[in-house]
Chain A
Amino acid sequence: MSRPEHQGPPEVVYNEEEAEKYTSNTRIAGIQAEMTFRALELLCLPEGKQCMLLDIGCGSGLSGEILDEEGHHWVGLDIAPAMLAIAVEREVEGDLFLQDVGEGLGFRPGTFDGAISISVLQWLCNADKRWHEPRRRLAHFFTTLYSSLANGARAIFQFYPENDNQVEMIMEQATRAGFTGGLVVDYPNSKKAKKYYLCLFTGTMGGSAELPRALGEEDGVVYNNEQIRERHAGRGRHRKNVKDKDWVLRKKELMRKRGKKVAEDSKYTARKRKPRF
């Protein structure tokens, strides 16, 4: 599947035509709704309370509508004017802002009881303008987001990471901004249903800061921050050499059986040569 973030900056990719398509396509709307419900579930908001939520990358308000239905008050940010125009047309309840979240958020400390974001983070890993620097933009975004969330609030990001480096970069910047939490991977064995949710917590909430369970029965995977780093660092370091002594001996035996002239085995077999110039 092609990645829209490879085609250009978000405000260009989601032009009028694409925004219209995105909003009227029932399949996309269905997936969006599903992910929004899951993100809300992961947010663990107090039961029955009307909360003040932030929707980062609200687009045409597909996810915002669900927040409405659940009885929450929300504020939406998006960088694509065409998407916001459709949101205005559809008369969504939340207040909308045309904003590039990589430039940081301008909300006063402790404003929001939670934040959700559907399919946005991977866009922040791109440098679309001359002065863009993904690492710095992510850092700025996470720092300002952290301060605008109330103590004990959560932020849930559904996103499509391209590779492990991206996950590691995002996680690193989030941790640096003060967030705790980790990655929840739903249905890790299914190519289609597999979904990544980055769950970030502000402050310490004692026991309740445990990462939520992933979906997909026993197979759901949850990684905390250390595991992501370890998995990343461990690559290449512990790899066993394929052509070790056993392999050489096996090959020599094979060649002997085929009647080739093979050097005798000795203690020097399969040893490395001295570095010599």
Chain B
Amino acid sequence: MRLLTHNMLQCHARGCTTRNYPLRFEEVRLDTEEKTEVNPDFIMGMLPKLDWAALRTTAMQLGMTELPEQAPDTTMDEATIHALHAILLDTRVMEGKMVCDGCGHVYRIKDGVANMLLTEHEV
């Protein structure tokens, strides 16, 4: 799972409405090997949809400290776009857990596929 997708994801268990975002990563194994083509327009388009604070916290958790405190504005230079692309699209979480701080539900990630199934009482 890419960090871009993680930024869009919140806990969807029943009654879990506070502190359900972002999901905290634990025991992750990352894959940053595969490089994809950079599309500046797509990155620009996604920028307003991103929750910058959440992205920065997540990146810090994973040991990536290069993100600035403030979100870059639409006049980004080439280098910033490439750096963002590397974090958002070329960083994949292959194994690990996502933990909701609100309800404590653990979403497991295996082979890059996150298990979002809930139990009966969480629906």
Contacts and interface: CB of A to CB of B under 8 A. Distances in A.
A97 B123 contact: no
A84 B113 contact: yes
Interface of B: 1-2, 5, 7-12, 21, 36, 39, 41-42, 45-46, 49, 51, 111-118, 120, 122-123
A88 B41 contact: no
Contacts of B1: 95-97
B51 A105 contact: no
A197 to B, nearest CB: 26
A106 B12 contact: yes
A49 B43 CA distance: 12
A157 B39 CA distance: 28
B3 to A, nearest CB: 10
A50 B12 contact: no
Contacts, number: 72
B9 A107 contact: yes
A103 B12 contact: yes
A75 interface: yes
A93 to B, nearest CB: 8
Contact of B116 (A99, A110, A131): A99
Nearest to B20: A106
Contact of A97 (B42, B46, B114): B114
Interface of A: 49-50, 52, 73, 75, 77, 79, 84-85, 88, 93, 95-100, 103-108, 110-111, 129-131, 144
Contacts of A100: 117-118
Contacts of A130: 120
Nearest to B1: A95
Given A88-B112, A96-B113, A108-B21, A73 B42 contact: yes
Nearest to B46: A52
Nearest to B113: A96
Contacts of B112: 88, 95-96
Nearest to B118: A103
Nearest to A71: B39
Contacts of B115: 97-98
B81 to A, nearest CB: 14
A103 B42 contact: no
Nearest to B2: A95
28 contacts: A50-B39, A50-B45, A75-B8, A84-B113, A88-B111, A95-B1, A96-B112, A96-B113, A97-B1, A98-B115, A98-B117, A100-B117, A103-B12, A103-B116, A103-B117, A103-B118, A103-B122, A103-B123, A106-B10, A106-B11, A106-B12, A107-B8, A107-B10, A108-B8, A108-B10, A108-B21, A108-B51, A110-B49
A98 B116 contact: yes
Given A108-B51, A144-B12, A49 B45 contact: yes
Contacts of B51: 108
Contact of B5 (A49, A75, A84, A105): A75
Contacts of A77: 116
